[in-house]
Structure 1
Amino acid sequence: MTITTTTLKPTLGTLHLWGICVGLVISGEYFGWSYGWGAAGTLGFLITTLIVATMYTCFIFSFTELTTAIPHAGGPFAYSRRAFGEKAGLVAGLATLIEFVFAPPAIAMAIGAYLNVQFPELDPRHAAVGAYIIFMGLNILGVSIAATFELIVTVLAVLELLVFMGVVMPGFSFSNFALNGWSGADTFSIASVPGIFAAIPFAIWFFLAIEGAAMAAEEAKDPKRTIPKAYLSGILTLVFLALGVMVMAGGVGDWRQLSNINDPLPQAMKAVVGSNSSWMHMLVWIGLFGLVASFHGIILGYSRQFFALARAGYLPKSLAKLSRFQTPHRAILAGGVIGIAAIYSDGLVNLQGMTLTAAMITMSVFGAIVMYIISMLSLFKLRKTEPLLERTFRAPGYPIVPGIALFLALVCLLAMAWFNAVIGLIFICFMVIGFVYFQLTAKQRFDAPVDAMLTGI
């Protein structure tokens, strides 16, 4: 074995990391979440969202302890392997990879849908593939350039969501929001409960991938100081935006018209200001920044996960090669190939009657929830086995706060498996394929460079 020299260059500060943290997620405020209205109604989905927001807040306050103690490009893969060994690292790594590889096709299709509003003759799939080509290229050019771009588009996206809330506020009516708000009924009943649980994947979409900033930890300056600031300010930003956007959009008219489309915000604004308003056209164009911020940031995230797994011998070592810009270009391209294939499968595959976007969101959420569970278990294990590990940030309210995150994640996983059995089985198939590859490549891992952060030596 040799000590690894395949390392990433630290160039990112607190603002860059906040931009990555929020930017990875912010597309979830622009689309995807409204599918939850179809399952639970507006009031039911509000309950779902509050539960999921609680889970994420507790999770991020706990996850930050792991990220600062073990600042590794593999993120959850590194924490789980250090806590429980190689097989646990495999589970966390594959789950994270599924989360980050299947989210971009959904976002790319939303980019296509937003562009189609302005250019009806444009095929959304072609626009989605064009987005992949552009942003894979930008990620290959260098992480500093990529992160600066991410920060700029994230700030613009946040400002645009605030503008959206301000413009539609005069047309907001709580009676519109509450009408048929409990799975199609005006009053809560026991029949409303299944919809609340069925809507979980779409509430998670509001916050999905916030943990991806952990995969930029090796490229962060002073990660033990900058990452906590980025994470904590990031989760507060996202909770505020998620609740504000959802409530405002649901109160401007018949929310059922927005519940199964990829561009709910432009359509909600159209109900208030009309289709020819300059406000509406501004939302479409600037709204693209929110989608681009997440799309671009998640490409950065999945490439680092491919890179970390390949460097440790869990995937072909060629994926750990760095370009002359010191970026994992092959890993970036690998995720793009999978995403583009998913885009062109639209219409060819029918998963439980879902649109492609809803199916990709659900698959991504399965990966995320499994990763959240094993990350919280790793936190508890490392507190016991490595009490002397340097922890510049410690989870507040331990063990209650991480315990809440773990419990709610388990509830979410059970609910998702119940309501999305077909996609859950496909997720398991992906994990089994990864495990078979793992079993056949022990020598590859033995020959991989030693990484002290994975073993604690």
Structure 2
Amino acid sequence: MNATSAAGQMHDLKPVLGTLQLWGIAVGLVISGEYFGWSYGWATAGTLGFTITSLFIAAMYATFIFSFTELTTSIPHAGGPFAYSKRAFGPTGGYLAGAATLIEFVFAPPAIALAIGAYLNVQFPALDPKMAALGAYLIFMTLNIVGVQIAATFELAVTLLAIFELLVFMGVVAPGFSLANFTKGGWSGSDNFSIASVPGMFAAIPFAIWFFLAIEGVAMAAEEAKDPRRSIPIAYITGILTLVVLAIGVMVFAGGAGDWTKLANINDPLPQAMKMIVGDSSGWLHMLVWLGLFGLVASFHGIILGYSRQIFALAREAYLPSYFAGVHPRFRTPHRAVLAGGVIGIAAIFSDELIKIGGQTLTANIVTMAVFGAILMYILSMLSLFRLRRTEPDMVRPFRAPFYPYFPAFALFGALVCMGTMIYYNPLIFGIFVGFMLLGYGYFRMTGQQRADAIAQAGAQ
């Protein structure tokens, strides 16, 4: 092996993933959103108001995924949105999309880790949820480092178990389901819709997004897919359909199990909903807690894969220190990027006083921070799609967005509505989000020469 090829291997990922594994990643990245996080939306919108919000967000995500798939298959790159915006708008566009995606994928895991801790605390009351969250980070960072094929196969297995458990949950609570329970106080605490119900529906947007957040992470596995142009569209489209059905089912059955207001501000709504039907000592409840962990683990594990590839891609092109672009010589995984994102996530878990602002729980604020990153990335991705259609009409597009320009336009409109309402209802968290973006932009401006050198080096090879 010559020096050039050896250097290239230091920054290359191995294409080993098939269609089923990519579907497992697509659903697994998101499926924890069916287990927790979304119920915070009931606290502001009520069950019926949140249902309307969720249907709007589901339509936004469906049109977004059909449009985003065009970019993913045309530009299969570990950086995902970073690569699309860079091609469409240059280095600054690449920075904005890359930083937004990084915030989304780095801040989502600590929220999921805390939920893992909450689920384990149901079984082991003496166990500190934060220590359980720390343990989850250590275990699944290690698994991600050991190899992407092993990680993806594990992801597929736990995703299938998580789907099975959600179906079991719906089946167990179905006999006690009451539509009257679901609709009581369903409009922000009122039984009837009024103009006063609308603000709560807008305020609940981040928690409806949590149902689907991070499905776009499949794009970051594109370089590791065997046939990305064929397998990614299948994974994305079947994945979003799977998630929409599960989200509606879980929300409706949980809300109809009893007094839904008791589920609105907790990290484990499904076990608590099942308690209303089967009691505290039922074997069904214990099974839900244990198998429910698979849903949380699937997303936690999958998003670690996503953030590590984003850090790796940004570092490979000198948007972050090149140290983080290192690939493990044996496992061919971006081990340094895995560890870097883990350090930030663990710090977030133990930063209650910093992150617990605005009167909301730590988990709710972390979710909102991740959603800010996601929405900015969605906006930039749709703008990139429109621009590349105009500037590069002859680009090879194995999958073209259906109903263009209406689908991407609706996705862009929905994302802009979400961003505006989230800023209005979460100004403090938005300020922190902007602060992170500005700090990153300062680094971006100071390292322009490094990127120029990286481009020149790549050209020489």
Instruction: Provide the TM-score with structure 2 as the length reference.
Output: 0.97
Cα deviation, residue 450, structure 1 = 6.3
| Mapped partners of 1:9, 1:448: distance in 2 | 21
| Mapped partners of 1:71, 1:167: distance in 2 | 42
1:218-237 pair list within 5 angstroms: 218-237=223-242
Cα deviation, residue 349, structure 1 = 4.1
**Amino acid in the other structure paired with 1:429:** G
- Cα root mean square deviation, aligned: 1.3
Cα deviation, residue 7, structure 1 = 1.5
- Structure 1 position 313 matched with structure 2 position 321: no
Residue of structure 1 in register with 2:297 after alignment: 292
Q: Is the 8 A contact 2:67 2:401 kept in 1?
A: yes
**Amino acid in the other structure paired with 1:335:** G
Q: Is the 8 A contact 1:43 1:178 kept in 2?
A: yes
- Structure 1 position 371 matched with structure 2 position 366: no
What is the aligned counterpart of 1:270 among 242, 258, 275?
Answer: 275
- Structure 1 position 25 matched with structure 2 position 33: no
| Mapped partners of 2:311, 2:178: distance in 1 | 47
Q: Secondary structure at the match of 1:105?
A: helix
- Structure 1 position 245 matched with structure 2 position 218: no
| Mapped partners of 2:454, 2:250: distance in 1 | 47
Cα deviation, residue 116, structure 1 = 0.1
**Amino acid in the other structure paired with 2:378:** Y
What is the aligned counterpart of 1:62 among 41, 63, 67?
Answer: 67
Q: Secondary structure at the match of 1:85?
A: helix
| Mapped partners of 1:199, 1:74: distance in 2 | 30
| Mapped partners of 1:107, 1:252: distance in 2 | 24
Residue of structure 2 in register with 1:170 after alignment: 175
Cα deviation, residue 346, structure 1 = 2.2
**Amino acid in the other structure paired with 1:157:** A
Q: 1:348 and 1:67, CA in 2 relative to 1: closer, same or farther beyond 3 A?
A: closer
Q: 1:378 and 1:247, CA in 2 relative to 1: closer, same or farther beyond 3 A?
A: same
Deviation sequence 1:413-451 (CA, Å, 0-9, x none): 000000000000100000000100001011111121569
| Mapped partners of 1:405, 1:271: distance in 2 | 38
Q: Secondary structure at the match of 1:293?
A: helix
What is the aligned counterpart of 1:211 among 216, 219, 229?
Answer: 216
| Mapped partners of 1:257, 1:348: distance in 2 | 27
Q: Secondary structure at the match of 1:261?
A: coil
| Mapped partners of 1:241, 1:400: distance in 2 | 26
Residue of structure 1 in register with 2:392 after alignment: 386
Residue of structure 2 in register with 1:359 after alignment: 365
Cα deviation, residue 142, structure 1 = 0.6
| Mapped partners of 2:280, 2:69: distance in 1 | 44
Q: Structure 2 unaligned segments of length 5 or more: list them.
A: none
- Structure 1 position 100 matched with structure 2 position 90: no
**Amino acid in the other structure paired with 1:158:** I
Q: Secondary structure at the match of 2:352?
A: coil
| Mapped partners of 1:448, 1:238: distance in 2 | 40
Q: Is the 8 A contact 2:355 2:366 kept in 1?
A: no
Q: Secondary structure at the match of 2:327?
A: coil
**Number of corresponding residues:** 452
**Amino acid in the other structure paired with 2:438:** V
Cα deviation, residue 126, structure 1 = 0.2
| Mapped partners of 1:91, 1:356: distance in 2 | 26
Deviation sequence 1:151-176 (CA, Å, 0-9, x none): 00000001100111111011111110
Residue of structure 1 in register with 2:12 after alignment: 7
Deviation sequence 1:29-56 (CA, Å, 0-9, x none): 0000000000100000000000000000
What is the aligned counterpart of 1:344 among 340, 347, 350?
Answer: 350
**Amino acid in the other structure paired with 1:87:** T
Cα deviation, residue 350, structure 1 = 2.8
- Structure 1 position 132 matched with structure 2 position 152: no
Give the 4+ runs in structure 1 shifted more than 6 A: none
Q: Is the 8 A contact 1:270 1:280 kept in 2?
A: yes
What is the aligned counterpart of 2:418 among 408, 412, 417?
Answer: 412
**Amino acid in the other structure paired with 2:128:** D
Deviation sequence 1:104-138 (CA, Å, 0-9, x none): 00000000000000000000000000000000000
Residue of structure 1 in register with 2:193 after alignment: 188
| Mapped partners of 1:7, 1:67: distance in 2 | 18
Q: What is the identity percentage for the equivalent residue pairs of Structure 1 and Structure 2?
A: 71
**Amino acid in the other structure paired with 2:40:** Y
Q: Is the 8 A contact 2:61 2:411 kept in 1?
A: yes
| Mapped partners of 1:22, 1:13: distance in 2 | 15
Q: Is the 8 A contact 2:271 2:288 kept in 1?
A: yes
Q: Secondary structure at the match of 2:257?
A: coil
Residue of structure 1 in register with 2:54 after alignment: 49
| Mapped partners of 1:234, 1:86: distance in 2 | 31
Residue of structure 2 in register with 1:441 after alignment: 447
| Mapped partners of 1:131, 1:111: distance in 2 | 8
Q: Secondary structure at the match of 1:146?
A: helix
**Amino acid in the other structure paired with 1:268:** A
Residue of structure 1 in register with 2:428 after alignment: 422
Residue of structure 2 in register with 1:331 after alignment: 337
Q: Is the 8 A contact 1:311 1:449 kept in 2?
A: no
Q: 1:127 and 1:450, CA in 2 relative to 1: closer, same or farther beyond 3 A?
A: farther
**Amino acid in the other structure paired with 1:206:** F
| Mapped partners of 1:311, 1:444: distance in 2 | 11
| Mapped partners of 1:342, 1:273: distance in 2 | 36
Q: 1:32 and 1:409, CA in 2 relative to 1: closer, same or farther beyond 3 A?
A: same
Q: Is the 8 A contact 2:12 2:327 kept in 1?
A: no
| Mapped partners of 1:84, 1:342: distance in 2 | 32
| Mapped partners of 2:430, 2:355: distance in 1 | 15
**Amino acid in the other structure paired with 1:132:** Y
Q: 1:422 and 1:348, CA in 2 relative to 1: closer, same or farther beyond 3 A?
A: closer
